[in-house]
A and B are shown apart, each in its own frame.
Chain A
Amino acid sequence: MLETVNVSKSFKGTKAVQNVNLYLDKGESVGLLGPNGAGKSTTISMIATLLKPTSGEIKWNGVNIVHKPGEIRKELGIVPQELALYEQLSAYENLKFFGSIYKLKGKELENRIQHALEIVGLRDRQKGLVKTFSGGMKRRVNIAAALLHKPQILILDEPTVGIDPQSRNHILEMVRTLNETEDTTILYTSHYMEEVEQLCDRVYIMDHGEVIAAGDQSDLLSILSSEDTINVELSMVSEPFVEQVNMLEGVRKVEVANTGLKLIAKKGSNLISELVHLADEHQIQLVHYQTESPSLEDVFLHLTGRTLRD
């Protein structure tokens, strides 16, 4: 359905995206993960035909949309990270404007507006000016505006940034419903790993403008199949202590967490006695020790050496 082939984009000689290859099949829900500056938004802008790639092809049902952007535009709904709305207009006026420039009119336009408002749960607030809405409500209108023309593919660029948990849950549920009941193909980017884990069938991980890993969740987790993630809760953390932990046999990565350390170590490594001994030397009390199965967050840490929100 959608495929990018060796897509690159440079801005004044600086490469923002390099040789990105990804594909989406109809009805799939695909996640695009990466920290700030990884190239996610640039990739999305190229898919949405807002930016022209420096090289490479983007194919929509086999047609290169770099040269024929109209082919995807009519089938594409985009929810940008920023609120692409007129704040001085009401939710209804915004949807009416965007719907009418999709050439919807009359009763059909009215029905689509009401349907989109129903999906985002804002029918009763449709006459309110957007500028008077909370952050979560604004984001929901932002999504409604992308649904008016019943797009085959919906691209959501970090749609839950900076909103309350209730609105966040509402948006996640809404995306899931669109994917499952209306068969809308989803490309979802987020900083929140758990959102991607919850919503997406497959995941692309981007860093420094490149796709560094791809696959479904089990594929990605298998990257860490030879490793364990160990959470160690401590009374305090000191730099010399962290340095010595890092030198322990089997330890591959050490990350300082809020109340202790998160270790990625060779599978089966039994580090508890060595950690107790080391903590004692540094007059640190080991409060809790737990080995857990790796998550996508761990995979990301393993691949990039940093967390998603670094």
Chain B
Amino acid sequence: MGSFIKKDILLFLRDRKEVVIALLLPLVLIFIFNFAFAGLIDDDEIELDLQLGLVNKDQSVAVKDELTEKLIEDGDFQPEEATVIAEQALDFEPAEIIKNSLENEGMDQWMTVHPLNEEQAKEQVTSEEIDAMLVIPEQFTVESLYAGITGKSPDVSLEYRLTEETMSNGAIYTIITGIIDHLNYQFVIGQVADDNAVELIEPKGGVERLGAGEDFTIAQYYTIAMGILFALFLSMTVASKTSEEIRLHAFDRILITNSHPILFLMGKMVSTFLLAWLQMMLVFALANVLLDVFPDRSWAFWLGMMLVTAFFALAVAGIAAFFTSISLRITNLEAAHGVLNLVIMVFALLGGNFVPRFVFPGFLQKMSDWTPNGRTLSILTDWLQYQQWSSLIIPSIILTSFGIIMTLIGLVIYPKRGRES
């Protein structure tokens, strides 16, 4: 199979036009799109009108007694000592501090807090009447005060729910983490773990803990989008060489060597995987060097980029297998090219490679997640913000599964003799 891989890589690299398209065109487009869509993210003049549903389930009335009891039972405090500490701690009311911070005068100019019960809030989040909801759980005051006094992690945490990650609910999340930091500071409990405060729960029930998120720029978005788009095109380029090989009868010569026809397909897949991965990493690296797109990023960040890119390259390799089989099935080479181009353009449009995903309506964002490029864009923009390894696991499995499914379809429709006769 090595010979097939080497042949396909050489054929691609010897085609200067293709190399220029794969490496330079993405950079030019990154520059153009960055300029054209800059206002979507970077415009400081954007007016925010954030809508937050606040559900306060903390209705404790005997805070002092409950806290004293918890300090004695769980914290091994002496009863007298516990009573004094609980008395002093009553000066702090965490739930009230959060509520007041969200509703204070400066904040109310760009965020409206709607006190709701939990059911109402869930409904409104789902129907996108509000951007997100924050739930202050039962016993939050007692648990937070206990955590603040003992330095232990609290048994309850705030719940933050949203339907889709958007600029708006991302901003709310940042505000809430700011308030929690402020709260912790007031307790002077620097030793409290970072994950003690905010939990993000998606409506489907999945729970994701967020670290300190960073914003991403439109240049970063389009660097990733263009890298992905041209990797998709690359799957078509490699597969469409099949048409060329048929036209030149080199494919016939391969067939009569008695080598297994599947090796031809596997060669296309592996070479596409290698070329797509290399192409994307080169685009990311060149964009960083020339346009300073990912400034001050750690090695861990780049490692994550390489990993996600590898999983996407697997999906692209699967697409190349499918496209190769299509090329062998369709005798009209022009028609074959047309079909492949159409598939790529639909993927690109749905996946957010031309227009940013976050400006799509909800249903389109959901469809976008079903495309390998849309899913990869989503993973990498998350990675840009939160850099959490655990968040890569499920999407990577999805991308790999997509690659496997496309490969299987490619194998099923691959002509038995390598070519129809």
**A interface, CB within 8 angstroms of B:** 45, 48-52, 69-70, 73-74, 76, 78, 80, 82-89, 93, 96-98, 100-103, 129, 145-146, 149
Contact = CB atoms under 8 A, between A and B. Distances in A.
Contact of B3 (A48, A84, A100): A100
B252 A50 contact: yes
Q: In the complex, which of the residues A45, A50, A76, A78 has the most CB atoms of chain B within 10 Å of its own CB atom?
A: A50
24 contacts: A45-B252, A48-B252, A48-B256, A49-B256, A51-B421, A52-B417, A73-B256, A78-B253, A80-B252, A80-B253, A82-B249, A83-B249, A84-B248, A84-B252, A87-B248, A88-B11, A88-B14, A89-B10, A93-B10, A97-B6, A98-B254, A100-B2, A101-B259, A146-B253
A98 B15 CA distance: 20
Interface centre among A51, A82, A86, A89 (most CB of B within 10 A): A86
A86 B248 contact: yes
Interface string B237-268: 00000000100111011111111000100000
Contacts of B250: 84-86
A98 B258 contact: no
Contact of B257 (A52, A73, A83, A96): A73
Interface of B: 2-4, 6-7, 10-11, 14-15, 245, 248-250, 252-259, 263, 417, 419, 421
Contacts of A129: 14
B256 A88 contact: no
B421 A101 contact: no
A101 B3 contact: yes
Contacts of B6: 97
B15 A74 contact: no
Residue among A52, A86, A101 with most chain B CB within 10 A: A101
A96 B421 CA distance: 28
The listed residue with most A CB atoms (<10 A of its CB), out of B252, B254, B258, B417, is: B258
A96 to B, nearest CB: 8
Contacts of A78: 252-253, 256
B11 A89 contact: yes
Contact of B421 (A52, A86, A93): A52
Nearest to A71: B258
Contacts of B263: 101
A214 B27 CA distance: 65
Nearest to B263: A101
A79 to B, nearest CB: 10
A85 B248 CA distance: 7
Given A82-B248, A85-B250, A101 B257 contact: yes
Nearest to B1: A101
B253 to A, nearest CB: 4
A80 B249 contact: yes
Given A50-B256, A74-B258, A88-B10, A101 B4 contact: yes
A98 B245 CA distance: 13
Contact of B248 (A69, A74, A83, A98): A83
Contacts of A85: 248, 250
A103 B421 CA distance: 25
Contacts of B10: 88-89, 93
Contacts of A70: 258
Contacts of A86: 7, 11, 245, 248, 250
Q: Which 9 interchain pairs have the tightest Cβ spacing? A: A88-B14, A84-B249, A100-B3, A73-B258, A84-B253, A101-B259, A82-B249, A101-B257, A51-B421
Contacts of A50: 252, 255-256, 419, 421
A220 B306 CA distance: 71
Nearest to A87: B248
Contacts of B417: 52
Nearest to B241: A86
Contacts of B3: 96-97, 100-101
B257 A98 contact: yes
Contacts of A100: 2-3
B253 A145 contact: yes
Contacts of B419: 50
A253 B106 CA distance: 108
A73 B256 CA distance: 5
A10 B277 CA distance: 46
Contacts of B253: 78, 80, 84, 98, 145-146
Nearest to A149: B257
A102 B255 CA distance: 10
A88 B257 contact: no
Nearest to B264: A101
Nearest to B259: A101
B398 to A, nearest CB: 35
B331 to A, nearest CB: 11
B257 A102 contact: yes
